[in-house]
Structure 1
Amino acid sequence: MECLYNPERRRLAKKFHRRKDRYNWFNRIFHVLFWAIFLGFSLEKRLYHFLTDWTESWIMKLVLFTTGFYIIYTIFNSILDYFEYRLNLEFELSSQSKKEWFLDKVKVLILELLILNIAGGGFLILVQKWPESWWIIYTIIGFIFIILFTFIMPVVLFPLFFKLTPFPNTPLRQRLENLFERAKVKVTDIYEFNLSSKVNSANAAVIGMGKTRKIILSDTLQDKYTEAEIEAILAHEIGHHANGDITKLLLIQFGILLVITYLISLIWQPLVKWWGYDEIDSIASLPMLFLIWGIINWVITPIELYISRRIERKADEYALRLIENPRNLATAFVKLADESLAELKLSLYKLLFKASHPPIDERVKMALEWVDKKE
């Protein structure tokens, strides 16, 4: 199947991933050092006193400390991320200017600070009031917030980063609407977003839920893909819609949240005492919470990604049943792989801890097998 791909893009992909893998290892090492130094030298306690000793307000202490700590962490993280941004520019994967990249970082920081202050404050309140059963209440409230964020994603969050417009009224749109009719699936509209403002590759997705659910296609699709290939890509997204995958992913998030909070509830009280915090609801303990949360989430990531790959494979199968010529999905995958310099096959580590989709080679192979089935 190698003959299907552009040899020059494959050569660049190998070179790109050698560089990116090296960067990722440095990234991991520096993150371990950051946490070892920050918590090992009790810098979180010093930072807490430095930022909050002047006020008696619990809310002010929470906001000042969480914001101060996370800005420090984000600056550290952004320095590392900048090298990846430069790498993407070098291989012409990114189309963002430094200013646009920086503004996106600021937007993400503001959103993350809002979430962290709510999540951190909620945790401290619940663990103080219900030290044995807080994790059940926290999971339920957290899941409600996840549903809310999913609902507002297309109308509030997504427009912060992309311009979302109805798909142009062209013969292609009519062809895509005919595909909806064949699939017997109702959607409010098809939308286009300006992905070209960030990267040079194409993408499509289903976002939102209920009345806000939208199927979106990137503006880069029409530049590089045939109408038949765009139809095949949309068929995959219709598969997610028809299979109820957003609901499935929400339930997965609920399960992950439940597992993480339960495991933290088992170790939190002894961990707080061992690390020398005054109380189990100490504001200064929040960086420790974020670290433990991240470690547990990383450990269970393979389960989440395995389920995600199964969901993506089912959407591929749906698309292959729906479209007339499965070869169009295969050639679309080939183009997606070449333009994004994606790896065709993945190492075991990347498959377990990185891959939310099946390897491209597997997806192309399955699509070509369907060609024989339909002939």
Structure 2
Amino acid sequence: MALFLAVIFISVRIFNIFLNALNLIHSTGTKAKIPVFLSSEIDNTEFQKFKRYNREKILLSIYSDILDAILTTLFLFLVYQKLESLSNVTDSQIFNGLLFFVFIGIIDFVISLPFSLYNNFSIEKRYGFNTMTAGLYIKDLLKSVVLSVVIAGPLLAGSLWLLYNVNNWWIPLSVGVLVVQLLAGWIVPTLIMPLFNKFTPLENENLKMKLEAVAKKAGFKAKKIYVMDASKRTRHSNAFFTGIGKSKKIALFDTLIDSCNEEEIEAVFAHEAGHYVNKDTIKNIFIGSFFLILITYLLWIFMNSQIAQNYFGVREKYTVLLYGIIFIGALFSLGRGFLNALSRRAEFKADSYAAKITGKPENLANALKKIHKLNMSNLNPHPIYAFFNYSHPTLEERIKALTKS
């Protein structure tokens, strides 16, 4: 059984590596060409730079996935058992469990740090995206560690208490995680993101009026509109809004404002408003809740099956929980294509809404072109890779749909 589970886990990881390799060859090989709709906006020199950037990003992902697959397999058979023994220092199983996951967190940090540093200070820096200083990187890292201890620590302790004290723990755990996820939708942009970024009120009154008008048409109030100083870390651009009910806070990356004109920013915001009108957030909550409850229930079944105890030699519930997360998570990762298909469908509808409410689909099309160009996005992703990994339609698919609007 242990070998069978390991084969399933490794097969899933190999499949993911295969998808990346497929995408690498398709999107950065000699056959990759500039899409027709961008031929007048991107010359061959720029396109070759796009390909080099994406090649480096994909290769780094492949190397990371290979190392992760090898190390996780070794840990499943040789290391987690020893970490469990090292963590068994008190009579409190909850404390021991927290210590166990601290060990896991430290190991994961040490392994992932070189990849993060190389990505940010080599790849992103060389292609003009990373604007972070080493000091800011370390500062962000320390803040993240503190937040993990302050927030994740108590949540993990509560989860472990349920594991050891409640027979059908999957029920209250599912409810608890759902509540935390709902609260996170407000807490993250309101309390946590300001710890890392500065949010200042939008000074452009004309743009502000346009965004407020779009919000009004969509049926909600643009309570506050902010500009986020994303440029102090990256030149990538984005926009988002948050809030419960009909009152929303809007945040625009300063990089978006610098790269797009007012009509294009209005179209981007109209797309986000389309998600509200189409109730995509509510739909995602229901879909996410279903899968969360299902996964938690399967974890409960796995932990009661004694598979990890009998075949991997672990004893504590917190260690068994980790094994369940690894195996069940690997299987469910294959279903991401289905979830991403639903997400892409929602994105098409939001694009359609933006085109309709602004009356000028070309504004959103131009904004998307600029954003993809600014981000050096992959312009030729492999269709199979995109099916499993893209939550948004490809640029070509979106432009074609907008052209028909």
The Cα of 1:246 is off from its aligned counterpart by 2.1
Contact 1:260 1:296 in 2 (8 A): no
Matched, 1:267 2:302: yes
What amino acid is aligned across from residue 213 of structure 2 in structure 1?
Answer: N
Counterpart for residue 369 of structure 2: 334
Counterpart for residue 352 of structure 1: 387
Distance of 1:118 and 1:251 partners within structure 2: 26
Unaligned runs of 5+ in 1: 371-375
Contact 1:203 1:221 in 2 (8 A): yes
The Cα of 1:175 is off from its aligned counterpart by 2.7
Partner SS, residue 241 of structure 2 = strand
Contact 2:299 2:325 in 1 (8 A): no
Distance of 2:151 and 2:313 partners within structure 1: 27
- Deviations along 1:252-285, one digit per CA (max 9) or x if unpaired, are 2212212212332333333222222235x2x343
What amino acid is aligned across from residue 143 of structure 1 in structure 2?
Answer: L
Contact 1:151 1:208 in 2 (8 A): yes
Which consecutive aligned stretches of 4+ in structure 1 deviate over 6 angstroms post-superposition? none
Alignment match of 1:93 (pick from 129, 141, 145): 129
Partner SS, residue 140 of structure 2 = helix
The Cα of 1:209 is off from its aligned counterpart by 2.7
Q: Structure 2-normalised TM-score?
A: 0.82
The Cα of 1:368 is off from its aligned counterpart by 2.2
Counterpart for residue 73 of structure 2: 36
Matched, 1:48 2:84: yes
What percent identity do the matched residue pairs reach? 27
Distance of 1:155 and 1:293 partners within structure 2: 33
Counterpart for residue 298 of structure 1: 333
* RMSD (Å) for aligned C-alpha atoms: 2.4
Q: Which moved more, 1:214-223 or 1:284-293?
A: 284-293
Question: What is the aligned residue count?
Answer: 365
Structure-2 change in CA distance of 1:23 and 1:40 (3 Å): same
Unaligned runs of 5+ in 2: 1-36
Counterpart for residue 323 of structure 1: 358
Structure-2 change in CA distance of 1:182 and 1:107 (3 Å): same
The Cα of 1:229 is off from its aligned counterpart by 0.8
Alignment match of 2:140 (pick from 82, 95, 104): 104
Distance of 2:71 and 2:247 partners within structure 1: 40
The Cα of 1:329 is off from its aligned counterpart by 0.8
Q: Structure 1-normalised TM-score?
A: 0.88
- Deviations along 1:91-148, one digit per CA (max 9) or x if unpaired, are 11222122323333333344445565455444444344454x3323321221111111
Partner SS, residue 188 of structure 1 = strand
Distance of 2:147 and 2:328 partners within structure 1: 19
Alignment match of 1:82 (pick from 117, 123, 126): 117
- Deviations along 1:274-301, one digit per CA (max 9) or x if unpaired, are 222235x2x3434424423532442222
What amino acid is aligned across from residue 156 of structure 1 in structure 2?
Answer: L
Mapping of residues 1-375 of structure 1, within 5 Å: 1-7=37-43, 8-41=45-78, 43-53=79-89, 55-85=90-120, 86-113=122-149, 116-118=152-154, 120-131=156-167, 133-210=168-245, 213-268=248-303, 269-273=305-309, 274-279=311-316, 281=317, 283-370=318-405
